[in-house]
Every structure is written in C-alpha cells, then in structure tokens.
Structure 1
Amino acid sequence: MTDLRAPERAPDPTPRPSRPSRPSRPDGAGRRRPSGGGLFRAVWRWHFFASFVVVPVLLVLAVTGLIYLFRFELEPLLHPDLMKAEPTATQQIAQPYSAQLAAVQSAYPDATVVSLAEPREDGRSTVFSVELPDGEGRDVFVDPFAVEVLGSMDPDTTLSGTAVRLHADLMAGRVGDAVMELGACWAIVMAVTGYYLFLRGRRARRRRARRRLARSGRPGARLRARHGVVGAVVGVGLLTLLVSGLPWTGFWGAKVQQIATSQGSSLWSTDHGAVSDPVSTLDESLPHSHVQEAPWAQHKSEVPRSEVPEDGAKGVSVANVDTAVAVAEREGLRRPFTVALPSTDDGVFSVIGYAFDAPSDEQTVHVDRYGGGVVDTYGYDEYPALAKVVAQGIGLHEGRSLGLWSFWGAALMCLGIIASCVTGPLMWWRRRPRGRSSIGAPRGRMPLRSTPALLVGIVALGVLLPFFGLSLLVALLLDQLVLRRVPALAGWFDRPDRG
C-alpha cells in the first residue's frame, strides 16, 4: 500500500529573525482588546450594568424587609407604654370589648372606629384602628384590664410603618412604585445571569483557585468566590421573593389583576365584605390577601348586609362586638381575631380569624349587627385559584407560612442579599481601571444572530416583564444613537466595538 504521508522535513538550522517588540503605551491603548463576541462576557456585561439599578433597590428591600420581619419584636420594645398591659392586683380578667370600644369612642368622639385587633399574647394591649375626621388613620391602644386608653400613634410613622412604606414605593407614590418595580424586574435578570456566570465559570475557578490562593492569597479572588457562593445560595430565595412580590406592584400587578378579573378570576381574595385596606400596618392577624380592592368594592358582587329591623319592632336583640367574637369562636375561627366594625346601619361585623402563619386557614365570618346570626362566611377554600397561589406566595414572602423555618429563612435571605449588594460593588472598586477614562465594564456582545433561542428568551422576558422590556429598548436606543456616535462615551462605557 502506498504511503500518502508527506516526508518529514529536517529542521532548518537558520534562526529566524525575531520580531521587534511593540513599545508599551502608558494609556493602555496598545493592549489587545478582548473579543466583542462571547456569551460569557456579554452576560457578565449585562450583569454588571444591571447592578447600577438593582443594588440600591435590593438594599432598600432587604433592609426594610428585615425590619418588617422583626416588627412584632421591635415595636413593643420601642413603645412599651402603649403596647404592654399587665393584670393588676384588683383586676385579673380582661373586660368585654364593648367596654373597651366605649372607652375609645369616649376618648375620640369625632373619630370612626374601623376595627379592633385582639391582643396577640398575654401582656399586650387591645389595638383599635380609627379614622380621624381629616382621614388620618391612628392605632389606639387600650389596657384590657383597666379599660383605660393608653394612647395612640400613627402606624405609618413607626419604625415598622416607615419600613413598610419604603418597601412598597419609597414613600414616593407612583414614581417610587415604578422605580421599585423596575429594580425588581432587573433583579430577576441579574439573578438569572448570576447563575449563568457562576455555573459557566465553575471549571475555571476550580483550576485557578488553589494557584491563586497559594500564590499570594489575593483578597480579590476570595471576595469573588464568596460573592459567587453567597449569590448561588441566595439566588433561589431572591427569585422567590421577587416573583411573589410582583402582585403588589402598581403596573405588573394591576395589569395581571385586570386580566384575571376579565377572566372571572382574581389575584386576591374576593371576600364579600371584609376590609380590603386595613388602617393599621401592624395588625398581624389580617390575611394579607385583602390588600387590593376586591370585586365587591367595585360593585361587581353583593355585599353582605344586616337585616335592619322596622321602627318599633319588639324583641329584637342588638348584637355588639362581643357577640361577633362569640359567634366567630363558635364557628371555629382561630384567635386572636380582627373585627371590622360596621360603618352603616345595615353593615355587618366581619370577624377575621388568625391565619398569619397559615394562609390556608384564612377565614372570615360576617355577623348580623342586630340578630347576631351568621350572614355569610368566606375562606381560603372559596378563593380563586390564582388567589390561593398569591396567598401562599405572600406567606413565603413575609416569612410566615412555614413557622420559624420560613421566618429565619427569609431573615437569612435578607442578610445574604445585603452581603451580595456590598461585595459586588466592592469587587468592581478593587478591579476598577486606574489612569483611564473607563468605567471598567466587561466587553462583550450578545450573540443574538447566532443564538435564536437567546433572542426568543429575551423577547419573552420583555413581554412578561414590561418594565424590563421597555428599559432594555431604551438602553439599546441610547447605545445606538448616542454611545455609538460619541467616542468619549463609548470609551467610558467600554463599548465592545468602539474605535
């Protein structure tokens, strides 16, 4: 058989002239620029720029969320004169709620009492939520033993109330709500890209980890490794918190609720009569499925009403708040109760059972204010399917669905998010370019033409999260219309194809 291989050549003894070395430039212009392609660098670039929007928002959400988690431990320490009440030597038994209600009405004759919340545990005061003539809401605290009004405060001005308001919309109304929703949408993108970077760079980290740490123990390598590990652990919890919080947003949540309502469903409880927007931010008894305007408030379903007796009717027993509590206990609701008081002649007492640690236990009994009978009941089993999902998601979001496991899990998630928000910018600060007019962003271009699936995924995410899609379009337009035509800005933002 003929050998088709070419004969081996003898090595040429003549040395080849060496190429002259290029002079180094102080501004780094002579360095080899990284390729503009590559999914890894492109994902890293978007992860980097997303942090400018995400980090401030996540810091606010994590810190305020941590305060919210511990509000029932913090507030009694900050306001012991209002929230604590002990039996006295002469009075060991709590007095009827009707007597306590009368004390509140006597102390605030011009106010409308909206609801009362039973003491959560021994040694606590009863909380009455009232609305003043100017529309301001206040919590009035009553010693249940001495039937004495201890004082009142605006729940929005407490540490926990301020945290709740910052957590919702930065106390800036629709603008603040839009900023928080924008940050939450990009945080979802940042979490997904972070997982890609963590998994994609795993092999490289394994090869370099020992060499780097053994060579010089560089703090940058350690910091990057810790950031990646913390992010990998926190990422799943972060995505859960973000997705479960979207129903509260002013744009995404409102639009999805509108679509759900048009299909005969709802993200929230459609209870016919329960309060939909409680005055107090500190009432842990209320099921949080009532935070949005329900269909009954939009006159799309009938509200339970009491049977108003005719004038001069004989033998009609007029029920009171204690009657409503007794009826709810007979119906099997969990205590402590929250009781929404009737605001009209034909209104009802709406007794809401304690379901803070179990959304599936949410139950409301509506009691006739005259005869004391049950007008209607509504609970978790009657929720629309979407509302059941949202209720469970809110329970996880607030760290209350699985007892101490979800509580401490949510607390650790908040601490992990804070750590990620601190270590990320710190990594950039340590590796930032010095002596150059550049922000030091990774340089990579998304290979959308060669990866159709990636393009489809980005478009789908932009449709599902409109704030992400719109802001992405704005960023791309700025890149093409501004950065591309201004070399100084292109250099500052490390545009992949600049120059």
Structure 2
Amino acid sequence: MTDSIARPGAPARATPTRPPTDRPTDRPTDRPTDRPTDQAAPTATPARRPRPPRDERARKKGGSGLFRAMWRWHFFASFLVVPVLLVLSVTGLIYLFRFQIEPLMHGDLMHIDTPAATEVRQSYAAQQTALERVYPDVTVVSMREPLEADDATAFSVVEADGSPRDVYVDPYGPDVLGSLDPDTTLSGTAVRIHADLMAGRFGDHLIELGACWAIVMALTGYYLFVRGAKARRRARAKDRPGARLRSRHGWLGAGVGVGLLFLLVSGLPWTGVWGETVQKLATDRGSSLWSTDPGALSDPTSSLDESLPHSHVQDVPWGMGASEVPRSTGDPEGSVANIDTAVEVAEAEGLRHPFTVAVPDTTTDEAGVYSVIGYAFDAPSDERTVHVDRFGGAVVSTYGFDDYPTLAKVVSQGIGLHEGRSLGLWSFWGAALMCVGIIAACVTGPLMWWRRRPRGAARIGAPRGRMPLRGSPVLLVGLVALGIVLPLFGLSLLVVLALDQLVLRRVPALAGWFDTV
C-alpha cells in the first residue's frame, strides 16, 4: 500500500514502458491521439420506447374526459338498446301496414266480391243473427263497420272458453265467411311482441328499460355527433379504415334521433312503471292520462277498454280506454234497441265513420248500453263515443276529445303521431321512415364495433373514460333528474354504478375485459 504512493523528497519511480510493436490490434483505442482530428466522436443514440396502444394514449391524454365518457355510455347502452329497438321497429312497421298486410293474407275472409247494383246491404242486426246461427255458442261483443265497399263486416266474439275470435260476414248475403284468432295473425303477433314481448309484466319492464336507455343513447349520440365532427372529417380526409361507416352512422343517428326520442316518449304512457306512476300522480292532482266519462251513471267495475277484446284491428282510443260504461235507464217493457238503432243515433250525433259498436251482453247484464265509438283514425281531436240506452235508444251520455283533461289531450295526440295516423300520409310515412332509419342505425352501430374490436385480446374494446361528475354539477343534476323522471332508468343506473365500483374495479380480469379506467 505504501509503495504505491511516492514519499516526500524521494525520487519518482520510473514507469516501465511496453516496447513498440508492429502487430496490429483489433481493439479500438480510446486515446485522443488515435481519433481523427477532423471528425467528432460518435455519440450513443438512446433506444426509442414503443408507442402505447391507441386506447392507452387516449386515456393518458384525456381518457377521463367528457367526450370519451359519453362515448363509453353510448357504447354500453347499445348492448341493451339495440335488440329492443330492433324488435320495436320491426313490429312497429308491421303494425303500421296492418291494413295492407292482413287483407292480403286473409283476403277470403276480409274481402267480398264487388256487389251487383241490384244487391242490397243487409242490416247489422241481420248480420249478427246470421253469425249466431253459425256460431251459437259465442258471445258477440262488438261490430266494426266495413272500411270500403268490398270489405266484410267484422264481429269480435268471445268463445265459451273465453278466447277471442274475429268473425267476418258478407253484408249482402248475409253470409258468414269464416273466423280467425286475432292473436295469431301477423299484425296481432306483432302487437303482442311490441307491447310486452309476449312475456307479460317482465317483458313490459324490459321494453321500458330499453326505451329509457335508448333516450340516454340518443342524447349521448348527439353529443358525440357535434363534438366529434372535426375528428370524423379528418378521418375521412385521410381515408382511415371505418371512417366512412362512422360518418354515415353519425349522420343517420342525427337524422332519426329526434324521431326516435319522440317515439320513445310518446310510447311511455303504455308502460307499466312510468305510465302507471304518471297516471297516479296526475289523478292525485285532478288530471289524467285518460279519463272517465263524466256524464255517465257508471258501473265502477266496467270500463270501455274492458268491454272490447283487443282484435288488433280497431282498438279503443287511448283517451277513452278507461272511461266508464254507463247503464241503461229506460223502460224494459218498451222498445228494445239493436245495433242498427245505435248506429242511427251515432250518425245523428255527428260521429265519424267507420264506427265500432260495443254490444251489451244481455245474458249477464240486461242494463247494458250500446257504446258507439267514432275512432276518427286520422284526427284524435274528432274522437267521440255515444252511449245508447238499450231500452228505447235514447242517448245516455256522450264523451269525446273535448271532454279529455289537458294531459289526456296531449297524450292522445302524441299516440296518434306514434301510430302514424294523426297527420294522414305525412305521419304514416314519417313513422315508417323512422322505423327503417332506426333499424339501419341499429345495424351500423354494432358493425362499427365489430370492425374496430381488438382481435385476439381479452377485452371488449370499449372506449375508456369516466364521467367527470365532480367537476360538472350541471351534468350531475341532469343525470339525477333523468333518473327521477324515468324511475326504471334511475334504478338500473344505481345497479350499474354499484357493479362498477364493487365488482368490476376489484376483479382485474373483469376490469381488463370491460376496459375500465
């Protein structure tokens, strides 16, 4: 150790040198004298980090922002909404064209040969008698006038076991043409699926839940359409894969979104949770989605809606569905009215043709009335019902659109538009176009995801983002208000948030699969 350091005053020890050699060396030297004088020393280039995936880059740049959060909600809402909207749109189209479809499928029952000039149309009472001769065990509950000169008269009956049937009668015979079960026709099946998926209360709630989330999907879709306009234009300009489909889906959604929101809102009065809740609140405040007949001495257990079986061809107007049916108060010993009497009285009262006449069941209720309904198919404001006393044919009461509460008038007009009948052909073709547009949007949306899905990865490929509710009080208030106005949506939202916090974020495999931030 001491030899390695020179002592003070001692001569420095000579350092031995290696003799020069002519042997070349293959090792580079780092001595300055070995470097070229006109070239700088090379510098090491740092290794480049691989770029993170697109979703990861977006998350770091602003994945918790409002746009990606809206996109995520729009994405996951579609899993519930798309199947429901496809079912409602297809069945809605069938219902819109029911007057064209059913006569084509059952022309032998619904149509008659063009009558000769010498033939005379028989009375409705005679047609009812002919029906009861062929079907002695049924109970006639209603009669619908023919829409055209070559249409048969349709009677709705109930068989001994309680099942409904529609019986068609040639009014010029009168000859019974045959009968069918209205629930088994194409339009009848479509109506039943459209109402509750043919699954009763559960199906009704499922459709209502889908409709509520469809409202959310439409609202988030409009946000994405407006905020993402520049990005879509840039993507199309660079001809990126899927850019054209994404742009078309956006414009399609923007076009049908307003109509979709109207169809959803106008269809809510039929639902079992929202409809019943709003009706109860309205009733407590002296209003109603529909109403009762204020001029009738009514039987509280019988409503007009209960008096007629749903034949899916001509239903009771919405505002009159819960109206109470009055009682006959005339002299039972005097003259007895029939269907023809009721039709004559309704004509004198100014009701619009074609009529539907509810026929009283005299075997169980001798004091029943004939209720003549002027549906006014293309104008809900012309809807009227006249109740005709069975004994003597006097008018017991009349009830129509002018008697509806304000809320019932609004709902009735909305339902008329929902069914494509309030504005004639304009609303008819508008509703049909909306159904086709919704079907197209339900196809292009999943197709976009299918093209951009991560192949071979254990994740669904959802947009990553979290709603910035803490920094957006307006958004929070709006979300809470929507949950209160749509109770089923509010409850389902609480379930979704609880699952997200308590399950998805605690199980790494699920968090990765659902792309949870």
1:390 is aligned to 2:419: no
The Cα shift of 1:369 comes to 1.1
Q: 1:153-168 residue pairs with structure 2 within 5 A?
A: 153-168=180-195
Alpha-carbon contact 2:232-2:246 (below 8 Å) kept: no
The whole-number CA distance in structure 1 between the counterparts of 2:277 and 2:75 is 30
Q: Please name the residue that 1:322 is paired with.
A: 340
| Aligned partner of residue 289 in structure 2, secondary structure | coil
Distance 2:41 2:250 in 1: 52
Distance 1:397 1:177 in 2: 18
Q: 1:283 to 1:24 in 2, by over 3 A?
A: closer
Decide whether the 8 Å contact of 1:91 with 1:145 is kept in 2.
no
Tell me the residue number matched to 1:282: 312
1:306 is displaced (CA, Å) by 1.4
Q: Give TM-score, length-normalised by structure 1.
A: 0.89
**Pair 225,485 (structure 1): closer, same or farther in 2 beyond 3 Å:** same
Distance in 2 between residues matched to 1:14 and 1:265, nearest whole Å: 91
Q: What's the counterpart of residue 112 of structure 1?
A: 139
Q: Relative to 1, partners in 2 of residues 1:436 and 1:484: Cα closer, same or farther, differing over 3 Å? A: same
Pair 318,31 (structure 1): closer, same or farther in 2 beyond 3 Å: closer
Contact 1:308 1:345 in 2 (8 A): no
Report the Cα offset of residue 14 of structure 1: 12
* RMSD (Å) for aligned C-alpha atoms: 2.1
Of residues 34, 39, 59, the one that matches 1:34 is 59
Q: For 1:342 and 1:91, locate their aligned partners in 2 and report how far apart those are by CA, in whole Å.
A: 34
Query: Of the two, which has the highest radius of gyration?
Result: 2
- Counterpart-to-counterpart distance in 2, 1:256 and 1:250: 10
Size of the alignment, in residue pairs?
Answer: 465
Q: Structure 1 residues 31, 58: CA separation in 2 closer, same or farther (over 3 Å shift)?
A: closer
The residue identity in structure 1 corresponding to 2:281 is: I
1:304 aligns with 2:331: no
Partner residue of 1:331 out of 327, 331, 349? 349
Q: 1:33 to 1:16 in 2, by over 3 A?
A: farther
Give the superposition deviation at 1:178.
0.8
Task: Give the one of 326, 330, 352 matched to 2:373.
Answer: 352
Query: Take 1:325 and 1:90, find their aligned partners in 2: how far apart are those partners?
Result: 24
Once the two structures are superposed, residues 129-188 of structure 1 have per-residue CA deviations (whole angstroms, 9 ceiling, x without a partner) of 111121111111111111111111111110000000000000000111111010000000
Alpha-carbon spacing, 1:371–1:37, altered in 2? closer, same or farther (3 Å): same
Equivalent residue of 2:100, what SS?
helix
Deviations 1:61-109 (A, max 9, x none): 0000000000000000000111001344486221100000111222222
| Structure-2 change in CA distance of 1:20 and 1:102 (3 Å) | same
Alignment deviations for residues 414-463 of structure 1 (CA, whole Å, 9 cap, x no partner): 00000000000000000001121110000001000000110000000001
Larger deviation, residues 487-496 vs 258-267: 258-267
Matching of residue 74 in structure 1 with residue 101 in structure 2: yes
Q: Does 1:423 align with 2:444?
A: yes
- Flag the 1:29–1:381 CA change in 2: closer, same or farther, 3 A: closer
Q: Matches of residues 59-70 of structure 1 in structure 2 within 5 Å? A: 59-70=86-97
Structure 2 CA distance, aligned partners of 1:159 and 1:442?
40
Q: Which of 136, 156, 168 does residue 129 from structure 1 map onto?
A: 156
Relative distance call for 1:410 and 1:493 in structure 2 (3 A) is same
Runs of 4+ in 1 over 6 A off after TM superposition: 13-17
By how many angstroms is 1:20 displaced? 1.8
Given residue 184 of structure 2, which amino acid in structure 1 is its aligned partner? T
Q: How far off its partner does 1:330 sit? A: 1.0
Q: What is the CA–CA distance in structure 1 between the aligned matches of 2:56 and 2:489, rounded to whole Å?
A: 35
Contact 1:139 1:280 in 2 (8 A): no
Residue 6 of structure 1 corresponds to none
Deviations 1:173-212 (A, max 9, x none): 0111111010000000000000000011123333443x22
2:279 is matched with: 257
Q: What corresponds to 2:203 in structure 1? A: 176
Amino acid at match of 1:276: D
Shift of 1:282: 3.2
The one of 99, 117, 123 equivalent to 2:126 is: 99
Is 1:476 the counterpart of 2:497? The answer is yes
Aligned to 2:287, the other structure's residue is in SS state: coil
Aligned runs of 1:373-384 on 2, under 5 Å? 373-384=394-405
Aligned to 2:290: 268
Letter of the aligned partner of 1:179 in structure 2? Answer: L
Please report how far the alpha carbon of residue 286 of structure 1 lies from its aligned counterpart in structure 2 after TM superposition.
3.9
Match 1:221 to one of 228, 231, 243? 243
Instruction: Measure the CA separation in 1 of the matches of 2:330 and 2:314.
Output: 32
Residue-by-residue CA offset, 1:215-249 (whole Å, 9 max, x unaligned) = xxx56111111101110010000000000000000
Question: Which amino acid letter does the alignment assign opposite residue 117 of structure 1?
Answer: R
With over 3 angstroms needed to count, the CA separation of the structure-2 counterparts of 1:203 and 1:219, relative to structure 1, is closer
Verify: 1:197 aligned to 2:224, yes or no.
yes
Contact kept in structure 2, 1:289 and 1:391, CA below 8 Å: yes
1:9 corresponding residue in structure 2? none
Structure 1 pair 30–150 and aligned structure 2 pair: CA distance change class (3 A): closer
What residue identity is the alignment partner of 1:248? W
Which residue does the alignment assign to 1:372?
393
1:240 to 258, 262, 276: 262
CA 490–373 in structure 1, closer or farther in 2 if over 3 Å, else same = same
Segment drifting more, 442-451 vs 31-40: 31-40
Q: Match of 2:312, as an amino acid?
A: L
| 1:24 Cα deviation after fit | 7.1
AA aligned to 1:360 is S
Distance 1:259 1:268 in 2: 13
The separation in 2 between residues aligned to 1:413 and 1:23, in whole angstroms, is 47
Contact 1:87 1:145 in 2 (8 A): no
